[in-house]
Amino acid sequence: MEKRYGEKAIEEAQLEVWENPSPEKDYTISITFPEFTCLCPRSGYPDFATIRINYIPDKYIIELKSLKLWLNKYRTRYISHEAAANEIYDALFSILKPRYLEVIADFQPRGNVHTVITIRSKETTKGKEEV
């Protein structure tokens, strides 16, 4: 069966950046991705989360469509909540090199357990410092 155009776009997704239109300012960009999914590495059951990204850009900002498609690549991956949150943080920090970055992965309760993972860089206006 031939893959649909959306499946191809997700499979080929790469994070892309744009130049920050106001690099002289400290301003916060907040992004919410309410339909994040991945698969439990032990059971194979789907896990659902809201991913929140807050950052103060330096030279670059994330291109939103590339982020959406890239995050959708997780939907067929067997990965723990903690590993997914840390991978998202590491990828964004690496490509953006922001002045500040926070990633919050708020997973829906399953088996009466609610997990929230928060990863943030040190607050700075000079940037480049990571936890």
**Tell me, which fold does domain 27-120 have in CATH?**
GTP Cyclohydrolase I, domain 2 (3.30.1130)
Q: Give the pLDDT of residue 55.
A: 98
Q: How high is the pLDDT of residue 127?
A: 45
For 39-84, the pLDDT digits (tens) are: 999 999 999 999 999 999 999 999 999 999 999 999 999 999 999 9
Which residues participate in catalysis according to the annotation?
40, 47
pLDDT for 130 beyond 60: no
pTM of this structure? 0.91
| Burial of 27 (C-beta count, 10 Å sphere; 0-12/13-18/19+) | exposed
The encoded tokens of residue 111 equal 């088996």
Q: Would you tell me how many other CB atoms lie within 10 Å of the CB of residue 113?
A: 8
Split at pLDDT 50, 70, 90, the class of 27 is very high
Q: Residue 126 carries which DSSP code?
A: S
Query: Is a pLDDT exceeding 80 seen at residue 37?
Result: yes
Domain ranges of the chain: 27-120
pLDDT for 126: 58
Helix (H, G, I), strand (E, B) or coil at 62: strand
Dist. CA 47–CA 38, nearest whole Å: 5
Supply the Cα-derived Rg of the chain in whole angstroms: 16
Between strands 100-110 and 60-62, the pairing is: unpaired
The percentage of the chain sitting over the pLDDT mark of 70, rounded to a whole number, equals 93
- pLDDT > 70? residue 124: no
Strands 46-56, 29-39: parallel, antiparallel or unpaired by DSSP? antiparallel
